[in-house]
Structure 1
Amino acid sequence: MTGYLPHEHLPSYVGDDEANAASFDSEGWLKTGDLCYIDQDGFLFVVDRLKELIKYKAYQVAPAELELVLQSLPEIVDAAVMPYPHEEAGEIPMALVVRQPGSKVTEAQVMEHVAKQVTPYKKVRKVLFVDSIPRSPAGKILRRQLKDHMQSCIVSRL
């Protein structure tokens, strides 16, 4: 399920039919881009953003799910998952990981920890150890900054 808000409570794009068509469905609901589910008690849970999904082969992988799995490893202080370009798969899940001070956890150990807890297509296939994960004051991962940091790391290794 993706998130929608009723149109009558939101302004439309005046004079921009193309923007309106892309932003609102045929019933006038705003497409927020949030991935949600409703539990058996009727509670709505926002779990990720549609734009942030990793497209691995024919599958969609939610970074937030893998981040929770990574953060369950005691040797990891913080983690973020980003798409990494891959010739055959399109994108692969790559973990950016902040280790506990003094930890020697390896890339293989991190990938094994995730692989034991998720279906095969969701496995982390690359790990990059970093000093910190950029976050907003509210604690949200600043994915654009993280993407820029990843690019500089890749370029510096060439």
Structure 2
Amino acid sequence: IIQGYGLTESSGSVASTVGPEESKAYGSVGKLASHLQAKIVDPSTGEALGPGQRGELWVRGPLVMKGYVGDDKATAETVDSEGWLKTGDLCYFNEDGFLYIVDRLKELIKYKGYQVPPAELEHILQSHPEIADAAVIGYPDEDAGQLPMAFIVRQPGSNLTRQQVIDYVAKHVAPYKKVRRVAFVNAIPKSPAGKILRRELVQQALSMGASKL
């Protein structure tokens, strides 16, 4: 399987796997394209991080966009004065230079000061034999900030319960990453490209009310 990663703003590939050996780096999108520079940056401090440390991926190179036409504010927020493009993706490089995508920064769930990647929980949920599809959002909570909430599409004939879903995830993650709420749905709303429409799920969760979760 050949993996790759890029953005519209990077005008093409940022990283990809080349050949069968690189494709064995399971879960990675490959190594950085030769025409680019990259660094992993702590979103809070702007400090560059080392291998294995998670942060925002910044890239720079001749094909990176100059900016958004007619939108100086968005350009200033996305590309710094030295030409570094802030991708908005939470990533890390391993010791061998392979890039791993964890999640979108703006989609991280903020639970009691911890950051919980929805994609990590979704991967675990989708490994359950009675779950056909799953999506995770941050449900607003006055005390915790946000609670990890799972939307579950059960396999036909399944009688999977909310507590079984919660217990299954809890076996695989640290306590702060546990799913706190569960809702069963017929389908996960997605864009034509297959991207989960999390805003729709948040609105759906709020409209359900606490009594139904």
TM-score range, shorter chain: 0.7 to 0.9
Q: How many residues align?
A: 157
The letter for the 2-side match of 1:75 is E
Is the contact between residue 93 and residue 125 of structure 1 (CA under 8 Å) also seen in structure 2? yes
CA-CA distance at 1:87 after TM superposition: 1.4
Could you tell me how far apart the structure 2 residues matched to 1:16 and 1:136 are? 25
Is the contact between residue 96 and residue 127 of structure 1 (CA under 8 Å) also seen in structure 2? yes
CA-CA distance at 1:42 after TM superposition: 1.2
Aligned to 1:99: 154
Task: For structure 2, list consecutive stretches of 5 or more residues without a partner in the other structure.
Answer: 1-54
CA-CA distance at 1:106 after TM superposition: 0.5
Match status 1:121 vs 2:141: no
Match status 1:72 vs 2:124: no
- TM-score, length of structure 2 as denominator length: 0.66
Could you tell me how far apart the structure 1 residues matched to 2:141 and 2:71 are? 36
Could you tell me how far apart the structure 2 residues matched to 1:154 and 1:115 are? 24
Could you tell me how far apart the structure 2 residues matched to 1:46 and 1:57 are? 24
> Residue 51 of structure 1: SS of its match in structure 2?
helix
CA-CA distance at 1:127 after TM superposition: 0.2
Where do 1:9-158 residues align within 5 Å?
A: 9-13=64-68, 18-154=73-209
Could you tell me how far apart the structure 2 residues matched to 1:29 and 1:5 are? 6
CA shift digits 1:83-105 (9 cap, x unpaired): 00111101010000001111111
Is the contact between residue 56 and residue 91 of structure 1 (CA under 8 Å) also seen in structure 2? yes
CA-CA distance at 1:110 after TM superposition: 0.3
Aligned-pair identity (%): 62
Task: For structure 1, list consecutive stretches of 5 or more residues without a partner in the other structure.
Answer: none
Aligned to 2:60: 6
Whose relative contact order is higher, 1 or 2, with alpha carbons under 8 Å and at least 6 apart? 1
Say what the alpha-carbon RMSD is for the aligned residues.
Answer: 2.3
Runs of 4+ aligned residues of structure 1 deviating over 4 Å after TM superposition are 13-18
Could you tell me how far apart the structure 2 residues matched to 1:99 and 1:77 are? 5
> Residue 97 of structure 2: SS of its match in structure 1?
coil
- TM-score, length of structure 1 as denominator length: 0.87
Could you tell me how far apart the structure 2 residues matched to 1:16 and 1:106 are? 48
CA-CA distance at 1:32 after TM superposition: 1.5
Could you tell me how far apart the structure 1 residues matched to 2:129 and 2:72 are? 51
Q: Which has the higher helix share?
A: 1
